[in-house]
Structure 1
């Protein structure tokens, strides 16, 4: 498939994991990609690998409006357009119990996960209106149901509500906003915790955790014209965990 031929996407937190898989999927489908991350060497290496005529690496701190504005400007300056923004940045940065979380930590969590996506959307909107483009934000099942990590869950739920409201506001201008809500995905963060993924896969009716490519496939669908009449929705990509626990783990032994 060449669903992104002639189109340009900007992906945040794209140096590894889900973001990198999204970049590779869009590039494989013919799209130009702007690879952004705080890891400058990593984004430059990925852009070089994909071919500098089709990819641009930009160091971006998503908590900095100036960095995001500069990245959007660089994308349009290089490729002349912007069709898709994938808000992938964000993660759980709180380790305290929720009743002990300080206001400062709440602000850090919301800034990193929710406000970063809002900044990208605000900077990209004028360009997406021109191309009738769209935004796909990577949320989490934590934003839909109670899996713990209260502050992270609140930020992820905020991404969903924000996307729904933007979809209603900008739908008349042809700009779409959708969300992908992954379950546990095999990323470097989880792989750094020995045994964690083997335990977590027992929660999933499909018997495994997700791979970054599972999420990239969903992003490619929602970000393409195949989803031209879909906006304001959240697509769970979560191996069935929202349906309940893996029933094989509930059977008597």
Structure 2
């Protein structure tokens, strides 16, 4: 199935993990993908891997914390592909919490919000006029949120940013709908990415809390992005879609302790 034949797609934070898997998935379905990342070498490596697999991909440095960098990336996508049909907001920042909340720094708080939430705002602002010009009302924004924006899983600033991203998704969806652009959010649970390198025991411990018995893979999230970005989701906008192995509905370890199940 090649649902994205002729589409131009821009993905932030796509040098590895969920972003790279999403770039591979959409390119595999015919999209021309701009792989952007604050690490330009990493972006080029990901794009090269897609090209080696027969897909169409370009790479570009992009810092979503900088308006000029974002606008340059959007302009490059439009110039290179002749169209911009899908924006995937995947870039984020997440710093460990201080032991006590009162010891949190303004700098850490601001960094997580600026990259995770305001960065998505910058990208959507730059991309929206082009998405609205996409043919057949196929323009779409899909942002990567988190279950942290829905319940308490720690990380104060990151969680606040992801919750804010869910709110932005709803308000932007209402604004963009008359312009033919859909805006949706995916809320992943724990996903096995490079961010967990050296902490494999933590992933194993986390898996016990998931009703489906495992943590997620980047491909699980990429599949959901492909759905929401495609015409298969033509009547869906303003939603948050959990892709979380069931973590938001219950925790098996707690049920076993309480009920012996």
How high is the TM-score relative to the length of structure 2? 0.93
Match of 1:154 among 132, 152, 160: 160
Any idea what SS the aligned residue of 2:6 has?
Answer: coil
2:145/2:166 contact within 8 Å kept: yes
In structure 1, the residue corresponding to 2:208 is in which secondary structure?
helix
CA distance in 1, matches of 2:211, 2:246: 6
8 Å CA contact 2:16–2:46 kept in 1: the answer is no
Matching of residues 69-84 of structure 1 within 5 Å: 69-84=71-86
| SS of match in other structure, 2:225 | helix
Task: Give 4+ residue runs of structure 1 displaced > 4 Å after superposition.
Answer: none
Query: Is 2:129 aligned against 1:129?
Result: no
Q: How many angstroms does 1:128 deviate by? A: 0.5
Deviation at 1:105, TM superposition (A): 2.1
- Counterpart-to-counterpart distance in 1, 2:37 and 2:117: 16
Contact 2:34 2:60 in 1 (8 A): yes
- C-alpha contact (below 8 Å) 1:47/1:55 kept by paired residues: yes
Q: Tell me, which stretches of 5 or more residues in structure 1 are unaligned?
A: none
Cα distance, 1:191 vs structure 2 = 2.9
Deviation at 1:101, TM superposition (A): 1.4
- 1:170-201, Cα deviation, whole Å (9 max, x unpaired): 11111110000000000011133141100010
Q: TM-score, normalised by structure 1?
A: 0.96
Deviations 1:127-162 (A, max 9, x none): 001013010000000001111111111100000000
Secondary structure, in 3 states, of the residue corresponding to 1:242? coil
Identify unmatched segments of 5+ residues in structure 2. Answer: none
**Is the Cα contact below 8 Å between 1:202 and 1:249 reproduced in 2?**
no
Choose from 211, 229, 232 the match for 1:226: 232
Report the number of matched residues: 253
